[in-house]
Amino acid sequence: MEAHAQAPVGKGDTPLVTLRLARCKDADALANLKTALSLEAEHMVFDVADRADLVGRCEAELASANSGKRQIFVVEINGALIGFIDIHRIPGEHADFLASFDLAVRREVQGYGLGARLVCAAEDWARGIGIPYLVIVVATANARAAALYTRLGYIIYPTPSLVSQHVLTKVLVKGHAGNIFPILLK
């Protein structure tokens, strides 16, 4: 899967924006992206203290993609990674019907729909392998992310025990109940 588009990002020439599946050879670039994101994003926490360890973790994540349990998509502008989504099945008894994801896009390109494109790619992957529900936890202080997800059809559920976090869910497959939150609380 690779999709190209022209996007109005910055001034000057319109850059080539590509959304694609991440590849094992992206480990170093993904580690660089996570390092940059850790410095600019208040709500994303990546352990970037040990560069070799971070690259090793990225290599392991990328190697486990395409396993049916996880997939990683990236967005690049003119060949430079500027965002990613890592979607994965929730381990345990809910693995057959529930997945979650981590999404991050560089601050300077937020607001151009790149995060939404990554989420849509992840949702398509989940539907394709028969996962009917997605769930994501977002810091309550991250109003921009919560707004993105609600625009994309996610529902925020009140979580008294998670005062500083929202739990958002979305039904991907018709015929499944809309409220999966009681299932998660079991």
Q: For the chain, give percent helix, strand, coil, nearest 5.
A: 35, 30, 35
Question: What is the spatial distance between Cα 110 and Cα 17, in angstroms, rounded to a whole number?
Answer: 13
β-strand partners of 155 = 169
- Kindly indicate the confidence band of residue 8, based on its pLDDT and cuts at 50, 70 and 90: very low
CATH code given to domain 2-185: 3.40.630.30
Give me the residue spans of the domains in the chain.
2-185
β-strand partners of 168 = 136, 156
For the record, the structure tokens of 164 come out as: 């500083």
Quote the pTM value: 0.85
Whether 56 and 31 have beta carbons less than 8 Å apart is answered as no
Overall average pLDDT of the 26-41 stretch: 92
Of 135 and 173, the structure prediction assigns the larger pLDDT to 135
Interaxial angle between packed helices 51-64 and 27-40, expressed in degrees from 0 to 180 and rounded to the nearest 10:
120
pLDDT tens digits for 104-138?
999 999 999 999 999 999 999 999 999 999 999 99
Q: Return the minimum-mean-pLDDT range out of 42-56, 72-86, 89-103.
A: 42-56
